[in-house]
Structure 1
Amino acid sequence: MKDMNMDIAPEKKSYIDLNVVQKKMSARILLNKIVNYLFLLSTLFGLIVLVILLYRVVADSIGWLNIDFLTNKLSTSPDRAGIVGAIIGTVWLMIIVGPVTMVLGIGTAIYLEEYAKKGRFHSFIQTNITNLAGVPSIVFGLLGLTIFVRVFGFGSSIIAGGLTMSLLVLPIVVVSAQEAIRSVPQFLREASYGMGATKWQTIKNVVLPSALPGVLTGMILALSRAIGETAPLVVIGIPALLIPIPGSLFDSFTVLPMQIYYWTIDSVLVDEYAHLAAATILVLLTVLFVMNSVAIIIRNKFQKRY
C-alpha cells in the first residue's frame, strides 16, 4: 500500500504543475492581446490625427492654392499675396545647408570611425555629438545670432541662416553616417587591403559606396528638418515682410516655415491669412514628401547594387 501511494503522488504533482503552466500561458496570451490592442490604438490615434490635420489643411487651402499663389510676391492684400520669394529663399537656404552639412558631417563620421583611436578623446567627442542632436533648436539660433550675425557681420542674410541651420542638423548627419559606416562588413575592408589598396582608397571605393544608402537617408532627414525649422530663423531675425526676391547669399530672405509662422499670427486679425498659411503648409508638405520619396528611390537603387 505504501508503494502504491508513492506511485500516485508524482502523477498528482505532475497534474498540478500542468495546470499552473496552462494558467501562466493563458495569462501571457491575454497580456499579449492587450498589448497588441494598445499598440493598434496608438497607431490608429496617430493616423486619425494626421488625417484630420491633412483634411483641415486641404480644406482651408481650397481656392487659394493656385499658380498665382505660387508665382506672386508677398503683398499686404491677401488676395494678391504669393510665396515665390519664400520658395526661392528656401532653395537658397538648402544650397548652403546641403553641401556644408554633407562635407562636415560625412568627414567627421569618417574620421571618428576610420581614423580616430578609441579612447577618452574619442568618447568625449562622440558623447558631445550625440548630446548635440537633442539640443533645442532655439539654442542653435542663439549660437548663430552670436557668431554669424554679430561676430562675422552677416546680418539676416542667407549665408547666416544657412550656416545656422547647418549647425542644427550636423549632429544628425554625423550620427547617421557613423551608423552607416559601422554597418559595412569588416571583410570588405580586409579584401581591399589584401589587394594592395591604401586606407583612403578602401574608404573611397569600398566603405563609402556600401554605406551610401544610410548616409543618404541621414542627409535627407537632416534637410527635411532644416527645411521645416522656424525657431533658429526667428532668433537671428529673418523677416517675413515685403522684401525683394534674394539674388545672392548676402541678401535678406524668408522661407516657407517663416511665412507660415507670420501668416498664422496675422490670421488673428485677418481671417484670410489662415487660408494663406494652410496653402503654404500644403506646399511645404509636398516638398517634404518629394524629398523623402527621392531618398527612398536612391537608397533602394544602391541597396540592390551592394
Structure 2
Amino acid sequence: MSTGTAATTATGGRAADAAAPPRRPGRRRKRTPARVRAGLWTSYLILIGLALIYVYPFILSIAASFKTDADATQNPLALVPETVTFAAYERLFTDVPFPLWFGNSLLVAVIVTLGRVFFDSLAGYALSRLKFRGRTFVFLFFIGVLAVPGVVLLIPRFLILQQLGMYDTYSGMIVPLLSTAAGVFIMKQFFDSIPVSIEEAARIDGAGTFRTFWSVVLPMARPALITVIILSFQGSWNELGHFIVSRQSPELNTLTTGVASLVSGQLGSGNQFPLQLAAAVLMTIPVAVLFFIFQRRIMNTTAGAEKG
C-alpha cells in the first residue's frame, strides 16, 4: 500500500509539474543612469531651497513674536531670540482689542463663506443648465469681471455703500462679498462635467428645478463646494481693501484692518515688531487649520468622483 501510494503521489506530482506554467525568470531592475540621478538630486535640492526661501519669512515672524522690542530691532533676522518672552501675546489681549477684531473677522468670514457657497452654486447651476437668452453674454461678463483688478472697484463700491446707507455697518462689510465671479466660474465648470441624464430621474419623479439642484446635483459637487469654501473663507478672512472703504468705526475693525493700525504705529513709539508679528501669527491659525482639515477631504472626494 505504501509503495502504491508513493507511486501515485510521484505520478501526480509529475503531472502537476507538467501542467504548471513555466516560471519566468525574475526581471532585473534597471539601474537609473548616473546622469538622470544627478538631475533628480539637483531638482530636489532646488525645490528644497525654494521651499526654505518661501517658508523663511513665516518662521522669522514666529521667532520675532517671542522677542523683546530691543532684540527685534538689533537682531531682526535672528531665528533664536536672546530672551524668549510672551509679552507681545499678552499685550494683544490687554492693550489691544484683539478678541474684538477676531470676532468681527470670524463673523464676516463665516457669513460670506455660506453666502458664496449658496449664491455661487445657484448662479453656476443656472449658467450650466438653464436655457435662457443672453446666457453666453452673462457668462462672458463674469469672465470679464475676473480680469478687472479688485483695487479698481474700491471707489465705486465706497460710493454705492454711501448712497445705500450701508457705509460703516456690518451689512456694508458683508453684502458686497456674498458672491464672486471666480466662485460662479468654478461651480459652472463643475456642473458642466455632470451628465444631464442624472437629473432626468428626479424630473420624472416630479422634482422641480430647485429641488433637482438641491437634492441631486449639489451633493455631487462636493469637490467644487469644498474648493469654494476654502477660497471664500481665506479671501474674506484676509480681505483688507474692502474693509478699509466700507467702514471707519474702530468697533468694526477686523484682524486685517486692526493689524494695519498696529503697523501704522497707533500704539505709540517704537517699532512694535513683536506685537505686529504676534498678531500676524495668530491670524494665520484659522486659515491653516481649515486648509489642513479639508485638504484630505478634497483628495477623497476628487478620487471618488474619478472612480464614479
Structure-2 residue corresponding to 1:139: 152
Name which one, 1 or 2, has greater alpha-carbon Rg.
Answer: 2
Contact 1:180 1:215 in 2 (8 A): no
Of all paired residues, the percent bearing the same amino acid is: 15
**Residues 161, 199 of structure 1: alpha-carbon distance in 2 compared, 3 angstrom cutoff:** closer
> Aligned residues, how many?
252
Determine the C-alpha separation between the residues in 1 that align with 2:54 and 2:102: 25
Contact 2:106 2:237 in 1 (8 A): no
Structure-2 residue corresponding to 1:288: 287
Query: SS of 1:266's equivalent?
Result: coil
Determine the C-alpha separation between the residues in 1 that align with 2:43 and 2:194: 33
Unaligned runs of 5+ in 2: 1-34, 67-84
Determine the C-alpha separation between the residues in 2 that align with 1:129 and 1:222: 17
Structure-1 residue corresponding to 2:220: 210
Unaligned runs of 5+ in 1: 1-29, 73-79, 244-251
Determine the C-alpha separation between the residues in 1 that align with 2:50 and 2:255: 25
Over the aligned positions, Cα root-mean-square deviation in angstroms equals: 3.4
Determine the C-alpha separation between the residues in 2 that align with 1:44 and 1:56: 17
Structure-2 residue corresponding to 1:221: 231
What TM-score, normalized by structure 1, do the two folds share? 0.69
Contact 1:144 1:163 in 2 (8 A): no
The Cα shift of 1:145 comes to: 0.9
1:180 and 2:190 correspond: yes
Structure-1 residue corresponding to 2:119: 104
The Cα shift of 1:44 comes to: 4.1
Alignment equivalent of 1:48, drawn from 52, 72, 77: 52
Deviations 1:107-159 (A, max 9, x none): 21121112134x6x2221111212223432223332331112x1111222222
Deviations 1:170-214 (A, max 9, x none): 112211211222222344234544666554443222211101221
Determine the C-alpha separation between the residues in 2 that align with 1:237 and 1:42: 45
The Cα shift of 1:275 comes to: 1.4
Map 1:192-271; keep pairs closer than 5 Å. 192-193=202-203, 197-238=207-248, 243=250, 252-266=251-265, 270-271=269-270
The Cα shift of 1:59 comes to: 0.9
Contact 1:180 1:212 in 2 (8 A): no
The Cα shift of 1:96 comes to: 3.6
Query: SS of 2:182's equivalent?
Result: helix
1:58 and 2:73 correspond: no
Contact 2:116 2:228 in 1 (8 A): no
The Cα shift of 1:43 comes to: 4.2
**Residues 158, 293 of structure 1: alpha-carbon distance in 2 compared, 3 angstrom cutoff:** same
Determine the C-alpha separation between the residues in 1 that align with 2:124 and 2:158: 27
Contact 2:104 2:254 in 1 (8 A): yes
Alignment equivalent of 1:128, drawn from 132, 141, 145: 141
Query: SS of 2:152's equivalent?
Result: helix
**Partner AA of 1:273 in structure 2:** Q
The Cα shift of 1:38 comes to: 9.4
Determine the C-alpha separation between the residues in 1 that align with 2:42 and 2:142: 35
Higher relative contact order (CA 8 A, sep 6+): 2
Structure-2 residue corresponding to 1:160: 172
**Partner AA of 2:103 in structure 1:** I
**Residues 66, 188 of structure 1: alpha-carbon distance in 2 compared, 3 angstrom cutoff:** farther
Determine the C-alpha separation between the residues in 2 that align with 1:195 and 1:165: 37
Determine the C-alpha separation between the residues in 2 that align with 1:130 and 1:41: 39
